[in-house]
Chain A
Amino acid sequence: MAGLVRRRARRQAVLRWVVVGVLSFVFLLPLFALLEFTTRGPGDTLTWDTWRLLVDWPALEETYPVLWTGMKASFWLVLLSVALTLVLLVPTVVWVRLRLPRLRRLVEFLCLLPLTIPAIVLVVGLAPVYAWVVYFVGGSSVTLFLAYTILALPFAYRAIDTGLSAIDVRTLAEAARSLGAGWLTVMWRVVLPNIRSAVLSAAFLTVALVLGEFTIASLLNRDNLQVAINQLGKSSATISFAVSLAALVLAFVLLYLLSFVGRRRRRERSVP
């Protein structure tokens, strides 16, 4: 039996490396091609000019104003979307758990609804709503953070809900209240520190989502990173290929870091 298990472990390891190896090759090939394309100099030479330009921001702004505008818009969109998602969702989800358990199903339904409504459909319905947004606060691209918060709801909700399920919010809140804490203190100093990793993962997922969003920005005629990249792709493919690869790598780094956050949480819980 032990020999059988060991033999199988070895066979599985071989399978694992073959499958992961082959698929890694297939999946890295297009990304490598992006890199190769952006470092292609005149006459089969290798050049890093595009990448040097990418870190030289004043020059970048001057050479590709469209790209710069898009990057700036996306930067603000990331900040505002994360802020609004957390400010809106965390207190609501906690509050519903504590005081309005009957609304829980409804809140969950609304938060997961964007999964069944493709962005391309949402944008059709958002057009008239955004006509009002323009009327009240103007047509800046940054106002897209309102729509992005909706797109982020399912992912952020799941992360926060999982985090809250792991702790006993009600007991914690009651304990704090009986010691004289106000609701703000309960939220800020009792609940929030206990779901820190869930909040962090909600934030990371929102960042990745906003960095990659194209559909809504493009169809509402706003600027963001992806719209700029797509626009530039037609005239100066090299720089837009480089930026899109950089954004992809950035998103990967974020999610990789996130995988460590998740692990710490599990380990904490396993300690009796």
Chain B
Amino acid sequence: MSRRLRDLLGVVPFFVFVGVFLVIPTLVVAIGAFLGDDGRATLDNVTALADGYIVQAFVRSIVLSAVTAILGAVIGALLGYALVTAEPDSTVRRVVTSACGVLAQFGGVTLAFAFMATIGLSGFVTLFLRDSLGVDIFAGGVWLYDLPGLVLVYTYFQIPLMVIVFLPALDGIRPQWREATESLGGSTWYYWRRVAGPLLAPAFIGSTLLLFANAFSAYATAAALVSQGSPIVPLQIRSALTSEVLLGRENVGKAMALGMVVVVAVVMALYALLQRRTSRWLD
């Protein structure tokens, strides 16, 4: 056996595993989206994406992701800036970044529960506001278990994610640049507008895109929180997977899944592009 062949043998387990559990599932979705119930090629599933309820779900998903990405990016960047003014090894920074790691990635069901316990019908804050201040936050209907509730809970996990992904860029800003601006007579406003701002902009936009993809892909929070209907795409896919599907529409779920991949892939490609721009001065 040649040496080259023997070298290749070393990576066979990895490629076999990834092939079976990642590549095949991806192909199942990509190909299944173009197959009818009888196994023949068709465009019916993809054209079904133009149906009113699916278009609406995509629009809601995109709006939800965009709104929470922007809110999360702005607030998260502010928190990130507050953190970089502290020493890198300080306790406050360590505690906050660990907490951000947990809240950003771990969330899901727990966060849905946390918000039910906070502003659910018998939630801590709901009761406090009602009994002590006479304010009924659900006077206009219970909004927690619908889209407005999703905006709130999603923002709660987007802010920590922003801190994590934006912190490296903020760390790359050298205090000397500010000193240089000042010694040349630039004001604080001038420094942010002409020096730090333009340097951080690609990283900021890139991080916002990542947040968008994150919210767009999220499922657990919505599944645990939304009790009625399927307002967003991941929940539509759930109902396509779990409920009795209409005849001839078995693969519409796959078409929706493919639609999600396309959206996320476009966003992530833009993210990678901006990331490359940032890494030029980061190291």
Contacts and interface: CB of A to CB of B under 8 A. Distances in A.
B82 A16 contact: yes
A92 B25 contact: no
Contacts of A153: 18, 22
B21 interface: yes
Given A120-B237, A124-B237, A219-B241, A29 B219 contact: no
Interface in B83-107: 83, 85-86, 89, 92, 94-99, 101-103, 105-107
A129 B26 CA distance: 11
Contacts of A125: 24-29, 32, 254, 257
Contacts of B24: 125, 129
A30 B115 contact: yes
B109 A88 contact: no
Given A100-B11, A120-B234, A124-B28, A34 B117 contact: yes
A229 B237 CA distance: 22
Given A30-B115, A212-B107, A251-B102, A4 B182 contact: yes
Contacts of A237: 113, 116
Interface residue SS majority, chain B: helix
A255 B98 contact: yes
Given A27-B103, A33-B114, A37-B117, A15 B82 contact: yes
A147 B21 CA distance: 7
A144 to B, nearest CB: 11
B265 interface: yes
A151 to B, nearest CB: 10
A89 B86 CA distance: 36
Contacts, number: 231
A4 B13 CA distance: 60
Interface residues of B, number: 82
A263 B88 CA distance: 10
A233 B125 contact: no
Interface string B164-189: 00000000000000010011000000
28 contacts: A1-B182, A20-B83, A23-B75, A30-B111, A30-B114, A34-B114, A36-B117, A88-B17, A92-B11, A99-B10, A103-B11, A107-B14, A110-B22, A113-B26, A119-B219, A121-B260, A121-B261, A124-B32, A126-B25, A208-B106, A214-B108, A218-B223, A226-B109, A230-B109, A255-B101, A256-B94, A256-B95, A259-B98
Closest 8 CB pairs of A and B: A125-B25, A118-B217, A30-B114, A33-B118, A19-B82, A125-B28, A214-B220, A33-B124
